Amino acid sequence: MMMAPPLIIAIGLLLTLQGSPLAARDEFPMAVSVDQFRVDSTRTRVEIAYAIADTQLVFRPTAEKNVVQAALELNITISSAQRADSIRVILESNKPRGHQQPSLLVGKRVFILPSDHYTIGMRIRDAYRERSAQLERRIPLVVRAFESQTLSTSSIQLAQWIAHADTLDPRQVNPSFIKNGLYITPNPTAVYEGTAPMLYAYTELYNLDQCQCDSIELHYHILDAALNEVFDLRYRRPVIGHQQAEVVSVSLDGLATGAYYLALGIESADRGELQLARKQFYLVNPELPPVQPRALSEDELFLQSPFATMDDRELAIEAASARLAARPAELEPYDQLTTTAARRRFLFRFWLQRDPDPTTPVNERYEEFRRAREYAAKFYRTARYPEGWNSDRGRVLLKYGFPTQIDRAYFNMDGAHPHEIWRYDNVQGGVIFVFVDQQGTENFVLVHSTALNEIRNENWYRQFAMPNYLDPNSPIR
């Protein structure tokens, strides 16, 4: 394993880390990364890493001569309907008076959570500024459940530096960076800077007993922004247990400034390469300016899309779920198509029109839609809606995405029926959706919304949530 000192990154590109102090800024100047690792079949280890340049902070003298100090107060909350955890952290920066070189303050906190839909709240302020502004950021998070019967991996965790843990090493000063006998300095910015920087990455491999082999061949790919392969690395690793840690260091010398991906796959004799994980990173090379990647044609994009190999059953699900997010009559031509090939191309073009970056094979809007559909199929299925995504909550999730916040009231002192209030801060200037389970069957019906062209009933609580309230004019659903 290569040994290197931790990188100190001091750039403004992509991160908005430069500028005036916190009190005068509207942006959230802290970089945040979230990685997930398996604990067991029901719990996941969520690691939240964060970084901020100390140029944002005000330094003051200390008791030690010619030493000044700055401090940042960070509050982290992570909440769902079932639980809420919070932690307060102070990040300190000490340096000689007059020292101009900026530093990147980096930290990490760990939460052990069951699979669910959460919201991460981040709030920061300058601890040494009396009237410091408090800046906030909210991050939606779906904590994944790790399969126990199929080969899988954790997130790819990018790092500034990885070495064997050594209590005698003066560079290893943060105990929270130690994991599986390794000292892993996180890189929440995902930025690597220099003419020949080294990328470090940590991944955990799970259910290796499924391969029934003594060793595995790992295949790392470096891809450009258009997912064209730049170069690749192959490693043969011994299998030493059901799960094990994997570390790689990749030299990025010769690469131009730009956005890239690190992808990980496992070679299989019977199935070829199994793609397991992918993580984006950024390279700033002062000697090599960005190179525009070649744009792919529509045919190339189609062949690399999931629609190219879908069968009729999969296409039927795609069309039915897409109708929930489509404009009226937008999918009517689909019903006139008679061949599988035509249906594949139609749905591909339907989502291509919604792709925020159609020059790359990854359609971010479709991937977001697919994740929402899988989430709804898992958590919103009922006897009436076994697919889950075609329920009222599923329809709203597919059309508007994951809400900013969900307020759940399942057990009420006044005996009211269970209900949920979904809040969207970025839809139509801020809207809500209210769902009520009147029958106690976990079928939450939409009874009120402030969104355009949705059902509106300001009297929803009295009419639908309160028990034993009879209104001859109320709808039966």
312 Cβ neighbours under 8 A, 6+ residues apart: 340, 343
Q: In what order do the strands lie in the sheet with 419-424?
A: 405-409, 419-424, 431-436, 445-449
Q: Are residue 57 and residue 110 in the same domain, yes or no?
A: yes
Residues 183 and 252 reside in one and the same domain:
yes
pTM: 0.67
DSSP string, 147-184: PSSS-EE---EEEEEEEE--TT-TT---GGGEETTEEE
Identify the pLDDT of residue 154: 95
Q: Which of 292, 326, 344 is the last residue of a domain?
A: 292
pLDDT in tens for each of the 477 residues of the chain? 333 333 333 333 333 333 334 443 447 889 999 999 999 888 999 999 999 998 878 899 888 888 999 999 999 999 987 888 999 999 999 888 877 688 889 999 999 999 888 889 999 999 998 888 889 998 888 888 888 888 889 999 999 999 999 999 999 999 999 999 999 999 999 999 999 899 999 999 999 988 888 889 999 999 988 778 899 999 999 998 899 999 999 999 989 999 999 999 988 665 667 788 999 999 999 999 987 666 778 888 888 888 999 999 999 999 999 999 898 888 999 999 999 999 999 999 999 999 888 777 788 899 999 999 999 998 999 999 999 999 999 999 999 999 988 888 887 767 789 999 999 988 998 999 999 998 888 899 999 999 999 999 999 998 998 876 544 454 444
- Clarify whether residues 154 and 136 are in a common domain: no
Enclosing domain of residue 303: 298-371
pLDDT of 20 reads 35
Regarding whether 89 and 10 lie in a shared domain, the answer is yes
The pLDDT value given to residue 177: 96
Helix axes 312-323, 364-379, angle to 10 degrees: 90
If we measure between CA atoms, which residue out of 51, 36, 6 comes closest to residue 202?
36
Instruction: From 371, 390, 418, give the residue that closes a domain.
Output: 371
Residue 382 in any domain: the answer is: no
Same domain, residue pair 286 and 156: yes
For residues 113 and 249, state if they share a domain: no
Do the beta carbons of residue 347 and residue 315 sit within 8 Å? yes
Check if the beta carbon of residue 76 is closer than 8 Å to that of residue 121.
Answer: yes
Both 117 and 217 in a single domain? no
> Does residue 7 belong to any structural domain of this protein?
yes
Tell whether 3 and 51 lie within a shared domain. yes
Does residue 398 form part of some domain?
A: no
Same domain, 187 and 287: yes
Does residue 274 sit within a domain? yes
- With respect to residue 184, please indicate whether it lies within any of the assigned structural domains: yes
The predicted structure's pLDDT at residue 63: 87
* Residue at 388 is within a domain: no
> Which of 100, 116, 143 is the endpoint of a domain?
143
Alpha-carbon gap, residue 137 to 134, rounded angstroms = 10
Closest CA to 402 of 358, 370, 449, 429: 370
Q: What number of CA atoms fall less than 13 Å from residue 305's CA on the CB side?
A: 28
Cα 147 to its chain centre, rounded Å, is 19
* Residue 85 and residue 213 in one domain: no
Task: Tell me, yes or no, whether 82 lies in a domain.
Answer: yes
Looking at residue 322, its pLDDT comes to: 95
Do residues 106 and 158 share a domain?
no
Q: β-pairing, 191-193 with 272-284?
A: parallel
Nearest to 148 by CA among 256, 273, 56, 43: 43
Q: Which two tokens stand for residue 144?
A: 């994944």
Q: Which CATH number characterizes residue 119's domain?
A: 2.60.40
Burial level of 455, CB count in 10 A (0-12/13-18/19+)? Answer: middle
Q: Do residue 138 and residue 19 come from a single domain?
A: yes
Q: Which two tokens stand for residue 158?
A: 């990018």
Question: Does residue 389 belong to any structural domain of this protein?
Answer: no
* Chain CA centroid to CA 442, Å: 28
What is the residue type of 472?
A: P
Domains of the chain: total: 4
